[in-house]
A = this chain, B = another copy of it.
Amino acid sequence: MRIKTTSDYMQSLQHLSPTIYYRGEKIADVTTHPATAPHVRAVGMTYALANQEKYADLATATSHLTGRTISRFTHVHQNVEDLLKKVKLLRVLGQKTGTCFQRCVGFDGINATYSVAWEMDKKYGTGYLERFKKWLVHIQDENLTVVGAMTDPKGDRSKGPADQPDPDQYLHVVERREDGLVIRGAKLHMTGAVNSHEILIMPTTAMNESSKDYAVVCAVPVDAPGITMIFGRQANDSRRDLKENIDVGKPSFGIVGGEAVIVFEDVFVPWERVFMDGETDFTGLLVYRFAAHHRANYGACKTGLMDVLTGAVTYLAQAQGTANGSHVRDKVTEMIHLSETLYSSSIACSAEGVPTPSGAYMVDTMLANVCKHNVTRFHFEVARLAVDLAGGFIATMPGEHDLDSEEVGHLVEKYFSGVAGIPVKDRIKIGRLIEAMTGGTAMVESMHGAGSPQAQRIMIFREGKLNEKVKLAKALAGIPRREK
């Protein structure tokens, strides 16, 4: 691993030159710009953890391609243990950053592409897997951060890719040259895009024959010519941009993953970086596998976030002298219960993992969908309980400038004091942390990241084996079997 530490990672980003806009202006250096630096630090934690003895076993793996020690985020899962370690790693990272650490999307894209490339090659005699392995060894050895890019704009959603008035609403191949492809389109909501090294492009949905040009998987560096990124707004982003400290809630880390729009205006991709081109019959499988891996993760990283929230409200209740109230304890219990229910599904879909023909391991897809679906419910409920326990306080608190003011600072100190011995500033800091973790963008990401709720319901119904269940019911009711 060439990039070993957070500092290595930051330096590596400074050597790239992506085109990034934010609020109408260009960002020169993502590692120092207030809008992007918190997200850089969150990814930095994925590097840092690999160097801590306590977490090395979770945060690193042995490459099945080279035998070298690599970051787990660049690993192809080789067994159930790999899947379980990943889950545990994600929970720890959620606890340490309280936010999205971004490397999962590329991680899952790598795992999905690997196994599907094997199957495409098997069917069509293509050589995608070898190409992909070469690229992957490079990623592993350099220890690069890869953003998986899946979500197209989709325009009018009542129409498919080929029926859009504007053909670019889904990313597609506009030219095939001797040395490679040219692609055009955009990917929305791209987590970690601005501070990654590479983009792994994947189709956003299952496609049919009519959409051959849209069935493309390939990798490009983030600063390839023709790529423009526009960094999205987040809840309370201006506080962050103004370099406020306490009032951002989490001084070091961001609210979510640092999402951006990536626009591809005729970007060239050499053939050795193309891993699917026109195999529409594999688009569904790729999306399915990517989605399942990604949904499995949410039950782990979000549990880490909920652990933090549970700790935060507990501390606040201690500061206010309410920690022993029976209703306070009951709500904290509920927060833990929901968190661990989520975590269960992440563990379960990993424990029930199975090998694909390529040898790469897949999570149980039913349980992975169930996992993410619960995130879309329980994270909101945990946030609601946190807001309940935190009190109106988190919505009406004076700001840090008031706290520091000569005129009113002493009044804030006086009237926001609680139990003796807990500094007012600490109480306010925790209040701001809860505000940051329960409001707006944090919740939206939890709802829609890894697929909106309805996407999971479709899979859950489809994989519910209803015919088998009907047979069970008929047997118990004493209904004789008949020819169908």
Q: Which residues of B contact A408 (CB under 8 A)?
A: 21, 24, 228, 230, 263
Least Cβ–Cβ distance between A17 and chain B, in angstroms: 16
A23 to B472, CA, bound (A): 28
- A292 CB within 8 Å of chain B: no
- CB pairs A–B below 8 angstroms (11 shown): A21-B405, A23-B402, A309-B473, A311-B469, A332-B466, A344-B349, A351-B351, A380-B380, A395-B440, A426-B477, A433-B476
Q: Which residues of B contact A97 (CB under 8 A)?
A: 476
A311 to B419, CA, bound (A): 40
Across the interface, do A157 and B320 meet the contact criterion of CB distance under 8 Å?
yes
**What 0/1 pattern do residues 397 to 420 of A give for CB contact below 8 A with B?**
111011011011001101111111
The majority secondary structure among interface residues of chain A is: helix
Q: Which residues of B contact A239 (CB under 8 A)?
A: 238
Across the interface, do A333 and B464 meet the contact criterion of CB distance under 8 Å?
yes
If A169-B417, A230-B402, A233-B396 are given as contacts, then 16 extra A-B residue pairs at C-beta distance below 8 Å, sorted by A number, are A22-B399, A156-B419, A158-B419, A165-B420, A188-B393, A188-B396, A235-B435, A260-B396, A308-B473, A341-B345, A341-B374, A384-B443, A392-B444, A439-B439, A439-B440, A439-B441
Looking at the complex, which one of B315, B326, B443, B452 makes contact with A326 (CB distance below 8 Å)? B326
Looking at the complex, which one of B188, B398, B441 makes contact with A230 (CB distance below 8 Å)? B398
Across the interface, do A398 and B315 meet the contact criterion of CB distance under 8 Å?
no
Q: Which residues of B contact A394 (CB under 8 A)?
A: 444
**Chain B residue at smallest Cβ distance from A458:** B333
- A203 CB within 8 Å of chain B: no
Copies in the complex: 4
Q: Which residues of B contact A412 (CB under 8 A)?
A: 230, 261
Given A348-B345, A352-B347, A429-B477, A158 and B321 contact (CB-CB distance below 8 Å): yes
Across the interface, do B388 and A376 meet the contact criterion of CB distance under 8 Å?
yes
Given A24-B402, A314-B469, A461-B336, A341 and B322 contact (CB-CB distance below 8 Å): no
Across the interface, do A157 and B388 meet the contact criterion of CB distance under 8 Å?
no
Q: Which residues of B contact A250 (CB under 8 A)?
A: 476-477
Across the interface, do A395 and B343 meet the contact criterion of CB distance under 8 Å?
no
Q: Which residues of B contact A159 (CB under 8 A)?
A: 321
A454 to B21, CA, bound (A): 46
Least Cβ–Cβ distance between A296 and chain B, in angstroms: 11
Looking at the complex, which one of B259, B344, B376 makes contact with A344 (CB distance below 8 Å)? B344
A241 to B343, CA, bound (A): 40
- A53 CB within 8 Å of chain B: no
A26 to B405, CA, bound (A): 11
**Chain B residue at smallest Cβ distance from A230:** B398
